[in-house]
Amino acid sequence: MKFNTKTIHGGQKHEETTGSVMPPIFQTSTYAQSSPGVHKGYEYSRAANPTRTALEDNFAAIENGTHGFAFSSGLSAIDCVLKMLNPGDEVIAGDDLYGGSYRMFTRMFQKYGLKFQFVDMNSVENVGRVVSKNTKLVWLETPTNPLMKIADIEEISKTVKSTNPNILVAVDNTFATPYLQQPLDLGADIVMHSATKYLGGHSDLVMGALMVKDQKLAEELHFIQFAGGAVAGPMDSFLALRGIKTLHVRMQRHCENGKAVANFLAGHDKVGAVYYPGFEDHPNHEVAKKQMKDFGGMVSFRLKDERKEAAFKFLESTSVFTLAESLGGVESLVNHPVTMTHASIPEPERLKIGITDSLIRLSVGIEDEKDLLEDLEQALQV
């Protein structure tokens, strides 16, 4: 089954009682048993719910995995992965990553004894250099949030596993989506998504996802999710499943519009730099070409006027682009990382990697290209 078909049919079957094409919303917390322990596969909705099961089967299918898990948020999915580790274990992560991930790593799990090293994953050598006997997890974002760095999933996986095959490689695939890249096929052990974003696609739910191929790993993740309780509800599961059915057609337009916006910004006299892996001068453009089908709908750029006031003036002047947190919906969004998504990262750390006051991140939606470019032009001229 090809990807475009998997988004609609992957892991799915018609509901047995009525033949319903879409899985019903099983809005129930518990299930009748004919005798203690004798039931129809469901006992309590924290452990499993038929609507969530349908979504999780689809999650697994679109990432070429065998098991999928739907969480109450993307961060709760990351939390589940980190709970597999023990005090003293080390995690290698990218130096440019979502502010919420950084906050969880440094302000929560660090105090429980995990150690984190943040490296520039544009270079495979940077990762190999810091692998130690205590390394248990390598956490990748690619493309990264918000500087659009590209990590070579296949080569990083080979490098760390040649040192120790038991090191887990996890990839936050939120920006790319499985339409553009499938990390499990490139050697990763775990794929994570904030399904709030492109998988849901309509800015109407909050959800996280994990996908794996290994049975033992799946069992461990399921136990942690069940014991911790961070599960997605049936209504959100229904909405996410509906969203995924149009993922492939939405991503085609996101990619088209993203490319047009990136090219427009690159040629504008008020723009100092554009961060977009589709450009040939992007440091890891060749890696992006190798592991991605296209370059996505996320574009970051820096104004030549580096004052925060100039960025705010632009951000307050867009009309088609909505100033808001999040990304990946059908509507275009504009974001100021310093004050919004990455505010939890200390300023010295932000500045070290280039998250400055003039940096602006765009989630390019599926509106008409001309409207998007005209909106950016008028906001840049304010």
pLDDT in tens, 225-242: 999 999 999 999 999 999
At 87, is the pLDDT very low, low, confident or very high (cuts 50, 70, 90)? Answer: very high
pLDDT in tens, 199-234: 999 999 999 999 999 999 999 999 999 999 999 999
At 192, is the pLDDT very low, low, confident or very high (cuts 50, 70, 90)? Answer: very high
Percent of the chain topping pLDDT 70 = 100
Q: What is the mean pLDDT of residues 171-175?
A: 98
Is it the case that residue 16 has pLDDT exceeding 90? Answer: no
- List the catalytic residue out of 172, 189, 236, 375: 172
Active site residue 361: no
At 21, is the pLDDT very low, low, confident or very high (cuts 50, 70, 90)? Answer: very high
- DSSP codes, 297-342: SEEEEEESS--HHHHHHHHTT-SSSEE-S---SSS-EEE-TTTTTT
What string of H, E and C letters represents the secondary structure of 208-229?
EEEEECCHHHHHHHHHHHHHHC
Active site residue 253: no
Please state the φ and ψ torsions of residue 257, each to the nearest 5 degrees. -70, -40
- List the catalytic residue out of 57, 98, 136, 189: 98
Determine the Cα–Cα distance for residues 130 and 22; give it in Å rounded to an integer. Answer: 48
**Whole-Å CA distances, 188 to 175, 231, 276:** 16, 23, 24
- Tell me the three state secondary structure of residue 372: helix
pLDDT in tens, 23-61: 999 999 999 999 999 999 999 999 999 999 999 999 999
At 6, is the pLDDT very low, low, confident or very high (cuts 50, 70, 90)? Answer: very high
- DSSP codes, 252-276: HHHHHHHHHHHHHHHT-TTEEEEE-
Is it the case that residue 81 has pLDDT exceeding 90? Answer: yes
Cα 233 → chain centroid? 20
pLDDT in tens, 272-313: 999 999 999 999 999 999 999 999 999 999 999 999 999 999
Determine the Cα–Cα distance for residues 25 and 55; give it in Å rounded to an integer. Answer: 11
Is it the case that residue 369 has pLDDT exceeding 90? Answer: yes
Q: What is the mean pLDDT of residues 314-321?
A: 98
Active site residue 172: yes
Active site residue 197: yes
| 317: Cα within 13 Å, side-chain hemisphere | 15
pLDDT at 131: 97
Instruction: Based on DSSP, count helices (H) and strands (E) in the chain, helices before strands.
Output: 14, 12
Q: List all residues 6 or more positions away from 353 whose beta carbon is below 8 Å from its beta carbon.
A: 95, 96, 120, 147
pLDDT at 316: 98
- List the catalytic residue out of 6, 197, 259, 302: 197
Is it the case that residue 17 has pLDDT exceeding 90? Answer: no
Determine the Cα–Cα distance for residues 186 and 206; give it in Å rounded to an integer. Answer: 28
pLDDT at 139: 98
Q: What is the mean pLDDT of residues 161-178?
A: 98
pLDDT in tens, 96-148: 999 999 999 999 999 999 999 999 999 999 999 999 999 999 999 999 999 99
Task: Give this prediction's pTM.
Answer: 0.97
Report the amino acid identity of residue 188.
Answer: A
Determine the Cα–Cα distance for residues 186 and 222; give it in Å rounded to an integer. Answer: 23
Determine the Cα–Cα distance for residues 51 and 134; give it in Å rounded to an integer. Answer: 39
- List the catalytic residue out of 42, 46, 245, 305: 46
- DSSP codes, 230-247: -B--HHHHHHHHHHHTTH
